[in-house]
Structure 1
Amino acid sequence: MRRYTALFFLIMFMIGTDTFLISPMLPTLQAEFGVSTEAAGWMLGAYTLGSAVFALIAGPLSDGWNRRTVLLGGLLGFSLSTFLCGSAEGFWTMCLFRFLAGISAAFTAPQVWASIPSVMPPARISKTMGIAFAGLAASQALGVPIGSWLAAAGWSVPFRAVGAASLLLAAAAYALLPDMKPAAGKGGAGSILGRYRTLLASGRARSGFLGYLLLHLGSGTAFAFAGKWLADRFALPIGQIGTVLMVLGIGTLLGSLLPAYAVRRLGRIPTMAAGMGLLIVLYPLLPYGPGLPLVTAGYLLIFAVLGVLFPIVMEALTSLNASVRGTISSLANSTMNGANTVGAWAAGLLYVRFGGYASIGLFAAVCLALSLGTFLLGGLFRERETGAEREAAAAS
């Protein structure tokens, strides 16, 4: 079982690293391709656009296929498209390869979340979810310095390194993972929209995804302008801002190792209530932190708590319907990306027009309070469905 855990951690680490890889290289790539600052942002946006849009398609398709095959195909495509980024001869070529890398990631990352309940015993699902999320968190902490260090040898080196490493992971996945075929009679059944209808016919699913949207909206809005606020409040240069943001990734990494322990000691509902209650208090207080060390410690605590909460929510979501786990994971991925996109827009509006970062902290707290209420009232964390709910799900 440890080999599966290590494989899932490394896959999520590699996908996360590729996501954050381009940020420190943006000025270099802008100069290399001779484009404006506004246009250069599309080298980031092309990846997230491909990932968000195609995740909605990839998930339902994967529920009718062998999940191992889907994951291997996604990893191979991810490896090739990322490697080709290092050979891009112009701006639009780079955007195309980044878009293709995002599409490949949409077929890969959701399969990790959907595969964990298939290959791991029930007692280890929560822990493995946390470790896989830790791979994503580790990439958030290390993606920026890794990209910077490798780019010192040339801007193409980071892309080729990630592409080559992903190819090795594809070989490992081929050797280690078993077939994960759909249950008998469900392999080809249902259209893409049909699988979404099956999932969202459940009130628990609808409230669960609404709560997940609000959770990411609050945390994403607070994160989007963290760097801008640190620069304005403490006059930090970009290097020191990067150091603080690395601390946030470290906090998420540490927190993501604890969900199984917290659930075992407290239970899912008390863990979620305590964690989100703490965030509801911390987000409005953070803008009033008297000094950089205290603010950094506050950020560390916030992201450690988020690292505990996100795997618990993902486990609850993927347990809603075992026959459409790929659809669930992909919808969660698109929900996250959509919430973060809206959060970035909302953060700019709040920061400029409504009192700076203090308004962002208050907005985040309100979103998290609504998220917690939605989770609790909607029953996402109930241990078992009632017989009526199971019959309704089966009938749909």
Structure 2
Amino acid sequence: MNKIIKEALKMIKRIDFKLNEFMMVVGLFLVVFVMGADSFIISPLLPAIAKDFNVSVEAVALAVTIYALCYALSSPFFGPLGDKFKQKNLLMLGILFFLIGSFLCAVSQNIYQFYFFRAIAGLGAALSMPNVWAIIGNHFEGKKLNIVMGIVMSALSLSIAVGVPLGTTLAQLANWHMAFWGSGILILLVLPVLLEVIPKNGGNSENTLNYLEGFKNLWNSKEALWALSINLVWMFGFYTIYTFLGTYLHDAFNLNVSKTGYVFIVYGLSNFIASFFGGTIISKIGALKNIIINGILSSIFILGLSFYDRRLVNILIFLILIALTQGIGVTALTAYIVNVVPSNRSTVMSFNSSFLYWGLTLGSTFGSIFYEQIGFKGLGIFSSLLISLAVYATYRLNNRHKNIIK
């Protein structure tokens, strides 16, 4: 691992980043981190919010579903806008909606207001995130694209590692409102940097193509449909077991919420390292080959997690291995998808983001229905089979299209 990190650092140093490019990467990293953490930060706050609004924890948890559904349903419809209009302007508009939603969540007076404001934040994230990836795809290329994609994607991994403890810390400093004030303020601090360093290119306001043209181009690209389907199946498989990891740890090892949180921190930090340095690995052997290799390993490690689960140390070892392979594999898949239809990057990435959330929804729903019947091992087998199916589809795609990203 140390050797891989050292090699990755050497490659990053050899990439000639200009100051404005460096600041752009930092700014986009922080945007992705905050919006990613916003999905996890609410978890430790559920009891406090429920007590404040005098409702059940289950009622507050519905806000998580509302956020995810608003993201998944609206993201594809926002995508073609980024192909016609300036992606920078759309990113700023999305950030504005996210800020409004976050700040209004902080001052919500009842659960129904909280639902509505979470929906606004979800719409803002749905407009912002695809344009983050599209901006990266438009501005960088080759090895630099892979490295930047890995660095910015690692922000999602870092949000997993620190989202829960960050929410808990802010709540302990004052109350649950501070968590939403904090995320909004951090975005406000980044906003002036993004306004200065993100170029105005991207999109074509003079384009006479109608709104549906982006969907048509996506539909006509079999390569894009294959890649997006791979993403959906992969995420379905991964979130089937990941969603119920905390439940299993509580049932099998009687871990409390705090100790379970430490396990997720270990996973998140390992995934962050893999994503951050994954771009250098992708540049060496290609995106599709990376997806195949890390998908196979991830499938094997998930089976290991499921069957060698008697000791907590085994759980941690396999979680770290899964985090590393998932970090590199998913980064490679995103790096491939962002270039699959260059003329409609925003549309493609909006569907990519939507499919990620649909994968999460399918995985959590399947687990909710079958966890009691088939247990953690059963979920692990199902998860491994789905990721193996995604690997097979990638293998077919690799044979069919030889233009692997180098």
Q: 2:315 aligned with 1:295, yes or no? A: yes
CA distance in 2, matches of 1:345, 1:232: 19
Give 1:269 shift: 3.6
Q: How many Å apart are 1:195 and its aligned residue?
A: 1.4
- Higher mean Cα deviation, 44-53 or 68-77? 44-53
Taking a change above 3 Å as real, the CA distance of residues 181 and 280 of structure 1, as seen in their structure-2 partners, is closer
Compute the RMSD of aligned alpha carbons: 1.7
Secondary structure at the counterpart of residue 346 of structure 2: helix
Of 230, 246, 271 in structure 2, the residue corresponding to residue 252 of structure 1 is 271
2:171 is the alignment partner of 1:154: no
Structure 1 CA distance, aligned partners of 2:287 and 2:31?
A: 27
Q: CA deviation at 1:379?
A: 3.6
Alignment check: 8 A CA contact 1:23 1:144 kept: yes
Is 2:199 the partner of 1:175? no
Aligned counterpart, 1:388: none
Deviation of 1:80 after TM superposition, in Å, equals 2.0
Contact 1:62-1:70 at 8 Å conserved across structures: yes
Map 1:117-266; keep pairs closer than 5 Å: 117-152=137-172, 153-183=174-204, 186=207, 188-192=208-212, 194-266=213-285
In structure 1, give the amino acid aligned to 2:273: L
CA displacement at 1:272 relative to structure 2? 2.2
Deviations 1:121-177 (A, max 9, x none): 433001111111111111110011111111111121111111111122222211111
User: Is the CA contact (8 Å cut-off) linking 1:284 and 1:365 kept in structure 2?
Assistant: yes
**Residue number among 82, 96, 99 corresponding to 1:76 in the alignment:** 96
Q: Distance in 1 between matches of 2:288 and 2:397?
A: 12
Q: Which runs of 5+ in 1 are unaligned?
A: 386-396
What secondary structure sits across from 1:249 in the alignment?
helix
Distance, in Å, in 2 between the alignment partners of 1:236 and 1:132 is: 32
How far residue 375 of structure 1 moved from its aligned partner, in angstroms, is 1.5
1:97 matched to 2:117? The reply is: yes
Residue 306 (structure 1) aligned with residue 306 (structure 2): no
Contact 2:299 2:385 in 1 (8 A): yes
Query: How far did residue 261 of structure 1 move?
Result: 2.2
% of aligned pairs identical? 25
CA distance in 2, matches of 1:209, 1:82: 30
2:84–2:205 contact (8 Å) kept in structure 1: no
Q: Deviations over 1:322-365 (max 9, x none)?
A: 111111111011101111101011112332112x1111111011
Over 3 Å counting, the alpha-carbon distance change for 1:243 and 1:3 in structure 2 is same
1:271 is displaced (CA, Å) by: 2.3
The one of 109, 115, 133 equivalent to 2:129 is 109
CA distance in 1, matches of 2:22, 2:161: 23
Give 1:86's match in structure 2, choosing from 102, 106, 119: 106
Of 276, 281, 288, the residue aligned with 2:295 is 276
**Structure 2: stretches of 5+ with no match in the other structure:** 1-20
Q: Which residue of 2 aligns with 1:338?
A: 358
Q: Tell me: CA distance 1:184–1:32, structure 2 relative to 1, closer, same or farther (3 Å).
A: closer
Q: Report the Cα distance in structure 1 between the residues aligned to 2:402 and 2:348, rounded to whole angstroms.
A: 18
Distance in 1 separating the partners of 2:129 and 2:352: 11
TM-score (norm 1): 0.93
CA 1:380–1:140 in 2, change beyond 3 Å: closer, same or farther?
A: farther
Amino acid aligned to 1:369: S
Q: Which amino acid aligns with 2:71?
A: S
Which residue of structure 2 lines up, in the alignment, with residue 394 of structure 1? none
Residue identity in the other structure for 1:147: G
- Judge conservation of contact 1:84–1:160 (CA < 8 Å) in 2: no
Q: Distance in 2 between matches of 1:283 and 1:140?
A: 19
Partner in structure 1 of residue 73 of structure 2: 53
Paired residue secondary structure (1:63): helix
* Matched positions, count: 382
Contact 1:207–1:380, Cα closer than 8 Å, also in 2: no
**Cα 1:45/1:298, change in 2 over 3 Å:** same
Say if 1:217 and 1:367, in contact at 8 Å, map to a contact too: yes
Question: 1:2: which partner in 2?
Answer: 22
Match for 2:342: what amino acid? A
TM (norm. structure 2) is 0.90
